[in-house]
Structure 1
Amino acid sequence: MAGAGFFLTGINSVLPLPAWAATAAQGLATHEIKDRYDLTVGYAPLTIDGRQSRATAINGTVPAPLIRLREGDFINLNVTNELDDDSSIHWHGILVPFPMDGVPGINFKGIPPGDTYHYKYRLKQAGTYWYHSHSRFQEQTGMYGPLIIEPREPEPFKYQRDHVVVLSDWAFEDPETIFRNINLAGDYYNFQRRTVGDFFDEVSRKGLGDAIADRAAWGKMRMMPVDLADVTGHAYTYLMNGNSPDMNWTGLFEPGETIRLRFINASAMSTFDVRIPGLDMTVVMVDGKPVKPVEFHEFRIGVAETYDVLVRPTAEQAFTIFAESLDRSGFARGTLAPEANMTAAVPALRPRPVRDLADIGMGMMDDMQPGDEWDGPDGKKEMKKGGMKKMPSMKGMKEGDTAVPGPNGPTPFKPDKSNTNVAMVISNPQDRLGEPGIGLGDDGWKVLTYKDLRSAAPQPYKAEIDREMTINITANMERYMFSFDGKKFSEHDGPYLFKHNERLRLWMVNHTMMEHPIHLHGMWMQLENGGSNDEIPFKHTVLVKPGEKLAVRITPIEKGDWAFHCHLLYHLEAGMFQVMRVA
């Protein structure tokens, strides 16, 4: 097919992987830069570790073809739908006119079966991005691929080899079945629950009273501190460039070369912790934008984020690229090596992390006295039986009151008490940009955090803030309801309103016990992480920790309706989605 590098017809002739994702990959230099691609969406068989399933593939492969473009070019991307259902493609992180953004029901009608949609726009940026379906669960069943935009001007870092590393999660189970199962029981796929042995370990560390109080608090919230991921390695095979751990994708190098690794998390639901034992990494780009180099050994990548890192192996040996799921239920694995078929040791999975109440902003269990009160998850006062620190309440505060550090701070959240969408409200959200995240930071090596990031790109937007607003990330996980400001998408009265070219400070506060990768279409979010206005990093997706409050600066540059949502696919479908109208 023109522009895709190959043409495939018939279900029996489908290649299992595109050339860029095959093992013994030479690197990106072997792929031609084009300004036109013709993409066909259709069903294809997919075999992983001897098990066969049916995928929704693009040009017959999972992952999809690597699209390589050039900054400043006017490009044509023609997408033909051969599925039985409507389809779409969203160009994740790319600044486009809103009819080209690819979100059905928001900025176009979708692509009906048998139709072709012509995406046409001029590229205003360079960097590492990706593309995926925005129609129901097609992203989960294979519709995702890398999108690389080469810059017009030289980049501020040098390398000799360039590999794309796409992380994803594959389920042999139908995603409609998965969605139904987690709606019936949010912990359906969690087989790492706390045991009696864990309780006695807690008693030895905390004492009997605090251990009992901890269990009672989690029980009252009807939550589990080990409920870290809705869909786990029990259902998922974690993939690297479409290869399972046993298939072992391998990227080649010559000793002494500096290698650029473009990590893309194209998962439906999985957060990964990535390291390469024996090699230091240097981050040079995040979400497609350059950052000042920072050396580190491990990083957490949320769904839809991208990280470009440099490594320089000098020894003629293999190195394992190890991407461990946040809940430690499995991993994706690949290899960097001078020759094909070389392998290195694969690390053992670390113990499954366990959240404590401080991790979700509910306080520590240390100095509470019997009879003390706290604001319970339903807003009612609860009598303490012992163990939990009393937390400051936001009740009675007015809009504009300063509840947390910052120019104004997020507006306190007061949910409708009759709304079952909200299971708990965090009264003391924390600044957590300098924290590596649960399960990280105790291994004796440097973990990259958002606090480390400083932009190396020119700042096109002013420093002065014109307006502030707050969006609360809310949920009732027991009922599998996910929402913004306590309302699912179907319950909101209308879009959130942005003003064209305003400088907006958007606060986000996470009132849930899970990490949420929040993605804004059509414009950049710039993360306020302690840097000056010229240094704050550009992000299209921000991983917000439990109990965290953070602020991003936004300048809406393109009028129209834009999607704003959690990029955990089942959370989006369960209601954590909204529209931002720029007018």
Structure 2
Amino acid sequence: MTSNSASLPGINRRALLRGASLAGGGLALSTWMPAWAQPVSRGIAKPLPQLSGDNIALRVAHEMVQVDGRQAHVIAMNGTVPAPLLRLREGQAVRITVDNALDEETSLHWHGLLVPFQMDGVPGLSFPGIKPRSSFTYEFPIEQSGTYWYHSHSGLQEAMGHYGPIVIDPKGADPIGYDREHVVMFSDHSFVHPHTLFSKLKQESGYYNRQKQTLAGLLAGKDQSRADRLAWARMRMDPTDILDVTGSIYTYVVNGYGPNDNWTALFKPGERVRLRFINAAAMTIFNVRIPGLQMTVVAADGLPVRPVPVDELQMTVAETYDVIVTPVEDRAYTIVGEAIDRSGMARATLAPREGMVAPVPALRERPLLTMKDMGMGAMDAPATGTDHAGHDMAGMDMSAGAASPDHGASGQSMNMNMRDGANAPEVVLGPGVQTIAPMPVDRTGEPGVGLENAGHKVLVYRDLVALERNPDVRGADREIELHLTGNMERYMWSIDGQTLSESKTPIPLRTGERVRMTLINDTMMNHPIHLHGHFFELVTGHGDHSPRKHTVNVPPGGKVSFDVTGVYGDWAFHCHMFLHMHAGMIRVVQVRGAGEAA
């Protein structure tokens, strides 16, 4: 997406002509087709604008851009969405001056970068924010290499296009060999303001779900049986409730270009091509594949991993994955980013020449959630059957007694210390906590919702093994258990039953302390959890080569454990589903020295 403002310096006028042609007769011939099925290739082969050096200037402003031939209002940096690619080098010190041309506060958070907490970019926590019509200079050393990104942490700006990619080259030889590279940044664009999206969800949580079960699905045997539907209805749960905001309202984009635009990346047959995938979406988990090409995962969240050949990977919001592909045929391939609920897809092309196009696969059948997603452990039995202990599933009240809005009173609490002997705070029950998962399980060996029977190799977290030995291999001194809680009917989201404004104390750590954090998802939605200022090691059985990440998806009814070493400062810790964070699923991790008061 490039700004249409002719007053901006360096405007790309070809982008304006491209947008005008999209709005013309060629598009009119196929407007009846869904976006992912549009056959027209525009042959863009257009690199992202790039900034490098020790001094970088960014300007944040409202812009109008073209997305699939439609005018879109965005908050852009230097006139483009995504913002310019920042190409940096490990070991350098960088100064990034941000000029805020908005009439509201803004900010930039350097997602995954290890920076001093005062430079982390969270207004009201680590710095005061960038006031309207003013500027702020971030200064920090570059201590790592890999694929990262940056985005606003103010209001709902990120959901309006305020994001961009970062590539950091290693100071020595790159452990990942390649002949050519492309940044492939997935996102979701709404022509409706995110405040409106949030308001609609508060009024009716399934407002954007156009894939609910129907009588036709029942008669065709594609959906749940009548008995199962009644059982789920008694629990006031919807097995098609997979994404809050769907392809019914979103246009899924790659580097700012919609499916009709068909952003194209070039290659020469036989080359090792490094694709730097970034999920910069506000609310969308993508299933990424390239039909006809195997991908080899070589980095996760910026850090190298032992190569893992896969056919598909599920990339949650805010994650990055680097993959190597080696196309040997002189033909085009489609890069598919299918929404997890199959309501739409981002589409781009990998080709040896401009103007080429590959077949675009049809959307696969939308998945249905199971009892396992309800926190019923390993039980995949239908709701009308019996669990492994012989309990009648049809009669079970999944609202967990006092945790139900019907049974609980605001301000009640339940101590969850019975689980794993963990040092768990009390979960505050009330209208914001709809369920407590009775039997959550570790699902890091599973491919993700909807990919259980994909028929090919799908990446799972347990496949990831760090290329180098972890810098801190100590065992954890203690464990902190946190519950991801919510009430989908009322669209309320929290941690341990409390929003940020309701929580009285931060999560305390000591500098250098080794802590195991266990996240339990008591809801039916996926929650990508991001800890600022740290890498953590997933507990997946790989010892001193555990994969190091800064963002991890906690699936419905699942739990994830990781070990982390405290770094001094006040750090945001939140769900990266943007509207979940906006609703309250965010806390502060406060790290202090041994002699300081927490």
Q: Does 1:227 align with 2:236?
A: no
Q: Which residue is 1:239 aligned to?
A: 253
Question: After the TM superposition, which of the residue ranges 112-121 and 365-374 deviates more from structure 2?
Answer: 365-374
- For 1:10, which of 7, 11, 19 is the aligned residue? 7
Could you tell me which residue of structure 1 aligns to residue 368 of structure 2?
A: 354
- Give the conservation status (yes or no) of the 8 Å contact 1:526–1:553: yes
Q: Is contact 1:16-1:47 (8 Å) kept?
A: no
The AA in structure 2 aligned to 1:506 is M
For the pair 1:491 / 2:502, whether they are aligned, the reply is yes
**8 Å CA contact retained: 2:403, 2:436:** no
1:299 to 1:540, Cα distance in 2 relative to 1, 3 A: same
Q: 2:303 aligns with which of 264, 286, 289?
A: 289
**Contact 2:403/2:435 (<8 A) preserved:** no
8 Å CA contact 2:282–2:317 kept in 1: the answer is: yes
Q: CA separation in 2, counterparts of 1:174 and 1:262?
A: 29
2:571 aligned with 1:562: yes
Within 5 Å, which residues of 2 pair with 1:287-366? 287-362=301-376, 363=379, 364-365=381-382, 366=385
1:19-30 alignment, distance < 5 Å: 24-25=44-45
Q: Tell me if the contact between 1:126 and 1:150 (Cα under 8 Å) persists in the aligned partners.
A: yes
Report if the CA contact (8 A) 2:213-2:223 is conserved.
no
CA distance change for structure 1 residues 65 and 372 in 2, over 3 Å: closer, same or farther?
closer
Q: How many residues were matched structurally?
A: 548
Shift of 1:11: 5.7
In the other structure, the counterpart of 1:56 is 75
Secondary structure of the equivalent of 2:401?
coil
Q: Which runs of 5+ in 1 are unaligned?
A: 1-5, 383-394
Among all aligned residue pairs of Structure 1 and Structure 2, give the percentage whose two residues are the same amino acid.
46
* Counterpart amino acid of residue 512 in structure 1: T
Name the aligned partner's letter for residue 78 of structure 1: T
Is 2:548 the partner of 1:545?
no
Deviation at 1:462, TM superposition (A): 2.8
Cα shift readout 1:411-445 (whole Å, capped 9, x = no counterpart):
6786444x111100111111111100111132321
- Mapped to 1, the partners of 2:392 and 2:480 lie a distance apart of 38
- Which of these residues, 86, 102, 112, is aligned with residue 67 of structure 1? 86
Give deviations 1:200-251, integer Å, cap 9, x for gaps.
Answer: 455x998xxxx45532332233221101111111110000011111100111
Measure the CA separation in 1 of the matches of 2:156 and 2:415.
41
Aligned residue identity for 1:92: H
Q: Give the superposition deviation at 1:372.
A: 9.3
Contact 2:400 2:438 in 1 (8 A): no
Deviation string, structure 1 residues 360-412 (Cα, Å, up to 9, x no partner): 22343332566997463142699xxxxxxxxxxxx99973x5x4xxxx46567
Q: Is the CA contact 1:18–1:65 (under 8 Å) kept in the aligned structure 2?
A: no
Structure 1, 462-471 or 240-249: larger mean CA deviation: 462-471
SS in 1 for 2:479: strand
CA contact (8 A) 1:35 1:70 kept: no
2:197 paired residue number: 178
3-state SS of paired residue (2:121): coil
Deviations 1:507-530 (A, max 9, x none): 000000011100000111211111
C-alpha contact (below 8 Å) 1:221/1:424 kept by paired residues: no
Scaled by the length of structure 1, what TM-score is found? 0.89
The Cα shift of 1:488 comes to 1.1
Paired residue for 1:164, among 159, 183, 186?
183
Rounded Cα–Cα distance in structure 1 between residues aligned with 2:15 and 2:87: 14
Contact 2:89 2:169 (8 Å CA) reproduced? yes
User: Which residue of 1 is the match for residue 19 of structure 2?
Assistant: none
User: Which residue number in structure 1 is paired with residue 137 of structure 2?
Assistant: 118
**Partner of residue 99 from structure 1, selected from 110, 118, 143:** 118
Q: Distance in 2 between the 1:562 and 1:232 partners?
A: 30
Paired with 2:393 and 2:153, the residues of 1 have a C-alpha distance of: 51
**Which of the numbers 479, 488, 512 marks the counterpart of 2:523?**
512
Paired residue for 2:488?
477
Amino acid paired to 2:150? Y
- The alignment yields a C-alpha RMSD, in angstroms, of 2.6
Superposed CA deviations along residues 84-122 of structure 1, whole A, max 9, x for unmatched, are: 110000000001111100001111111011111100011
User: Given the superposition, is the C-alpha separation of residues 469 and 339 from structure 1 closer, same or farther in structure 2, using an over 3 Å criterion?
Assistant: same
- In the alignment, what sits opposite 1:391? none
> 1:40 aligns to what?
59
Question: Given that residues 300 and 320 in structure 2 are in contact (C-alpha distance below 8 angstroms), is that contact kept between their aligned partners in structure 1?
Answer: yes
- From 172, 184, 192, give the equivalent of 1:153: 172
1:254-299 Cα shifts (integer Å, max 9, x gaps): 1100000000000000000000011110000000111000101000
Q: In 2, Cα distance between the equivalents of 1:132 and 1:205?
A: 39
TM-score w.r.t. length of structure 2: 0.87
- Residue in 2 that maps onto 1:468: 479
Q: Which residue is equivalent to 1:3?
A: none
Change (3 A) 1:444 1:183: same
Identify if the C-alpha distance between structure 1 residues 25 and 423 changes in structure 2 by more than 3 Å, giving closer, same or farther.
Answer: same
Distance 1:18 1:247, change over 3 A: closer
| In 2, Cα distance between equivalents of 1:381 and 1:77 | 47
Task: Report which stretch shifted further, 117-126 or 453-462.
Answer: 453-462
CA distance in 2, matches of 1:517, 1:24: 32
Equivalent residue, structure 2, for 1:389: none
* Whole-angstrom distance in 2 between the partners of 1:12 and 1:262: 29
Q: Distance in 2 between matches of 1:35 and 1:108?
A: 22
Paired residues of 1:16 and 1:46 also in contact (CA < 8 A): no
Please report how far the alpha carbon of residue 24 of structure 1 lies from its aligned counterpart in structure 2 after TM superposition. Answer: 4.7
CA contact (8 A) 2:51 2:85 kept: no
The residue identity in structure 2 corresponding to 1:10 is S
Match of 1:376 in 2: 398
Trace 1:428-447 onto structure 2 (pairs within 5 A). Answer: 428-447=439-458
On the 8 A contact 1:18/1:64 being kept in 2, the answer is no
Write the letter of the residue equivalent to 2:496: D
User: Could you say what secondary structure the match of 1:479 adopts?
Assistant: coil
Structure-1 residue corresponding to 2:38: none
In structure 2, C-alpha distance between the alignment counterparts of 1:108 and 1:70, rounded to whole Å = 25
Comparing 438-447 with 368-377, which one deviates more in the overlay? 368-377
Partner Cα separation in structure 2 for residue 484 and residue 182 of structure 1: 19
